[in-house]
């Protein structure tokens, strides 16, 4: 090949390169056309395929998201009666029975919760992105699960029997830390805040402190717990509710 190229003139070499380039371009175009044709065939198949028990015959080359039973579009249809957002395939008026069901407007939550939920500040955006974690900081009961398996990013709970929530004793037992409802019975709000931050890493202290004050001011159960603590004998360690 080297001797052949050396014997060719400049025009011959350029013509040979152009021929090779056109051949590669045609080959790529044919491959692209075949890929598009295969995709169209798979799309036509999926649009009419029966997905019943399809998981037992799963084909990774098929894009199941193209099936009309799976691709339901965006929730961008607005109900003319109540303003609820619906998918295009939903029955019109299903949300409010064509205006027959009228729900009262929700009462805005007290501050600072309202600003955290509806504000545009950095604190608000952080809170909205972590509402589940902040909710867990103030949970009063245990889920009753003792075995947790870490598999990647998703912890797995193994629970036997009926699911229930345990309240437990109002005060911790000897050589144990305050958890769940017991945190509400600690000496002062500063100790409660420190304990919540110790259990829940990554939460912002200022937000936790504001939510803690909110619960102590507006939550009926928290106020009831404070009354129970004042009436509790100092040597009672196993009182349960």
* DSSP structure class, residue 64: G
Give the pLDDT mean for 208-232.
81
Closest CA to 184 of 216, 211, 207: 216
CA distance 202 to 184: 21
Contacts of 239 (CB under 8 A, 6+ apart): 169, 170, 171, 232
Give the pLDDT mean for 175-183.
79
pLDDT for 186-197, tens place per residue? 777 888 888 888
Model pLDDT, residue 236: 47
Contacts of 177 (CB under 8 A, 6+ apart): 195
Judged against a pLDDT cut of 70, whether residue 137 lies above it is answered with yes
- Tell me what percent of the residues of the chain surpass a pLDDT of 90: 4
Model pLDDT, residue 44: 55
In terms of DSSP H, where are the helices of 66-164?
113-118, 122-129, 131-137
Model pLDDT, residue 159: 62
Judged against a pLDDT cut of 50, whether residue 238 lies above it is answered with no
| Interior angle at CA 137, CA 134 and CA 138, nearest 5 | 105
Give the pLDDT mean for 56-83.
78
- For 92, the 3-state DSSP assignment is coil
Contact status, residue 132 vs residue 139, Cβ threshold 8 Å: no
Q: Give residue 125's pLDDT band: very low, low, confident or very high (50, 70, 90).
A: very high
Judged against a pLDDT cut of 60, whether residue 147 lies above it is answered with no
Model pLDDT, residue 59: 76
Q: HEC string of 174-218?
A: CCCCCCHHHHHHCCCHHHHHHHHHHHCCCCCHHHHHHHHHHHHHH
Contacts of 76 (CB under 8 A, 6+ apart): 85, 88
Contacts of 90 (CB under 8 A, 6+ apart): 77
- Rounded to 10 degrees, the C-alpha dihedral 47/50/54/60 comes to -20
Contact status, residue 124 vs residue 116, Cβ threshold 8 Å: yes
Model pLDDT, residue 237: 47
Query: What's the whole-number average pLDDT of the chain?
Result: 77
Give the pLDDT mean for 36-60.
67
Choice between 35 and 94, residue whose per-residue pLDDT is larger: 94
Judged against a pLDDT cut of 80, whether residue 86 lies above it is answered with yes
Give the pLDDT mean for 134-142.
82
Please state which of the ranges 2-6, 21-25, 108-112, 152-156 shows the lowest mean pLDDT. Answer: 152-156
Model pLDDT, residue 14: 78
């Amino acid at each position: 090949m080297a001797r052949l190229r050396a014997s060719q003139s400049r025009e011959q070499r350029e013509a040979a390169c152009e021929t090779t380039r056109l051949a590669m371009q045609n080959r790529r175009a044919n491959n692209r056309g075949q890929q598009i044709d295969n995709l169209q065939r798979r799309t036509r198949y999926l649009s009419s395929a029966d997905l019943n028990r399809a998981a037992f015959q799963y084909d990774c080359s098929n894009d199941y998201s193209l099936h009309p039973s799976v691709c339901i579009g965006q929730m961008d249809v607005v109900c003319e009666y109540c303003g609820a957002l619906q998918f295009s395939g939903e029955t019109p008026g299903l949300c409010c029975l064509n205006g027959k069901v009228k729900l009262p407007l929700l009462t805005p939550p007290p501050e600072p919760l309202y600003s955290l939920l509806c504000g545009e500040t950095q604190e608000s955006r952080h809170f909205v992105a972590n509402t589940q974690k902040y909710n867990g900081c103030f949970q009063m009961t245990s889920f009753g699960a003792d075995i947790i398996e870490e598999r990647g990013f998703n912890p797995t709970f193994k629970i036997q029997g009926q699911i229930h929530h345990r309240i437990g004793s109002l005060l911790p037992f000897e050589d144990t830390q305050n958890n769940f409802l017991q945190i509400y019975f600690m000496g002062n709000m500063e100790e409660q805040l420190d304990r919540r931050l110790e259990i829940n890493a990554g939460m912002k202290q200022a937000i936790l402190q504001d939510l803690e004050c909110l619960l102590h001011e507006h939550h009926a159960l928290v106020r009831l717990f404070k009354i129970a603590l004042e009436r509790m004998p100092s040597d009672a360690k196993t009182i349960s509710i």
